Amino acid sequence: MPVSKSIPVFAGAVLLIGAVTYGAASSGSKSSDDWIAQAADSASVQLAATAEAIDSTGLFPRSLMTDYSLEQLVDQLEAPHTDFKVELLPHPGLDEFRTLRLCDVADWTSGFFPGSLWLAYELTGDTTLRTQAERYTNRMLPASYMTDTHDLGFMVNCSYGNALRLAPADSIRTVLVRTADNLASRFDPAIGCIRSWDFGEWNFPVIIDNMMNLQLLFNAAKITGDKRYSDIAVTHARTTLAHHFRPDHTCYHVVSYAPDGSVESAGTFQGKNDASAWARGQGWALYGFTETYRESQVKEFLDKAVAVADMIMGRIKTEDKIPYWDLDAPAESQTPRDASAAAVIASGMIELGYILHNEKYTDFAEAILRSLASPAYMAPTGTNCGFVLMHSVGSLPHGSEIDTPLNYADYYFLEALNRLARVKKGLAPVEDFLA
């Protein structure tokens, strides 16, 4: 969730990204897979236009402003509004309805747009996209000095991490290591986790999303040779594995720990209720434990990724395989789908299928991506305020970003397309460029 933060100002601080392209992918494909190239081309047009349109603002595209009613939320949460944990007020009017919502570098989603530009460049080889990716990634430099958020992996690894793959430079490595140091500073050895949030009434909250930030630590370990980073990542994953999951392999969104490391509460902040399976949270779990297994080779992480993947495949009942915003939401025609959860699930399943040599996961992911690439979810070029996908959900219980495009939906969609294209060429979905 976005939290207002102050950030340091660096006069004249500009990080120049290296000029050598690293392994840009060709957009060519077999005829049966032309849809991948077509989706990549359409996404590239959207992203390039957005980059030019907002360049002078110094900001990043996040979503569109959307309206809602309390009746809609009551229906989806299946609870009276008096039971809601926060005050929910509909937008006062429609003046801002479907208009662009921008964010600054301190927002947890800021790194996804630069990352999407890099991924689109990788898919198409369009050097214009690379130039824009460099420009927007340079704007992320202040995030590498932040210490008050766990979202540094999202912010910096999605921007500078992709830059290091596709335009390697020592200056980028410096940024990644500094950011990893700041993320590691939030680790509490007594609890065995990285603290997620600095707000709320929790003592030490850890959200399942935090699994997505561990790759930054693994990358820092490879860059420096210092095992301390990977040890923190593995310890965090082990603690999460022990306390975030229910017997049916669904996960809680938020687990808070007492100072001695015992669990003081387990519930949700963005899901339907404390016992529900918030869709994107299940995606974070699948993706995060698959990724952590790849880096650590700890089998229990792979076992959990498989169990979560099988649970997701059994719980998604929609014909197009795009989940409702919560897997326990009422299955109604008006229930919002979450394209962002679908994209995260697809990207994680492609890697899981590759690791296991099991096509059922890859096939499920491809079915998701074909749905996302269809007119039902992928916006025609020149529409959707420049976003690639439609129909995602940010935080329905807070009346925030309901049935809207989201920058992280676009990011994981493009990442999944890249991974699928690589697998179809007989390559690993994730290039271990730092090994």
Q: Are 196 and 150 in contact (CB under 8 A)?
A: yes
For the CA atoms of the chain, what is the radius of gyration?
A: 20
Q: What contacts 399, CB < 8 A, 6 or more positions away?
A: 68, 73, 88, 89, 90
Amino acid at 183: L
Residue 170 is among the residues annotated as catalytic for this protein: no
Residue at token pair 């100002």 = 9
User: Which residues face 257 on adjacent strands?
Assistant: 263
Alpha-carbon span 61 to 64, nearest angstrom = 9
Residue at token pair 């999303």 = 209
Residue 151 is among the residues annotated as catalytic for this protein: yes
Identified catalytic residue from 107, 126, 151, 338:
151
Alpha-carbon span 166 to 10, nearest angstrom = 26
> CA angle, corner 300, sides to 277 and 308, nearest 5?
25
> What would the two tokens of residue 401 be?
């970003």
> What would the two tokens of residue 400 be?
């925030």
Q: Are 274 and 326 in contact (CB under 8 A)?
A: no
What sign results for the dihedral spanned by CA atoms 25, 28, 32, 37? positive
End-to-end CA distance of the chain: 33
Identified catalytic residue from 107, 209, 403, 410:
209
Q: Are 302 and 286 in contact (CB under 8 A)?
A: no
Q: Where are the alpha helices (DSSP H) in 93-209?
A: 112-124, 127-138, 152, 162-166, 170-184
Residue at token pair 């795009």 = 322
Tell me how far apart the 2 most distant CA atoms of the chain are, in Å: 58
Q: Which residues are catalytic?
A: 151, 209
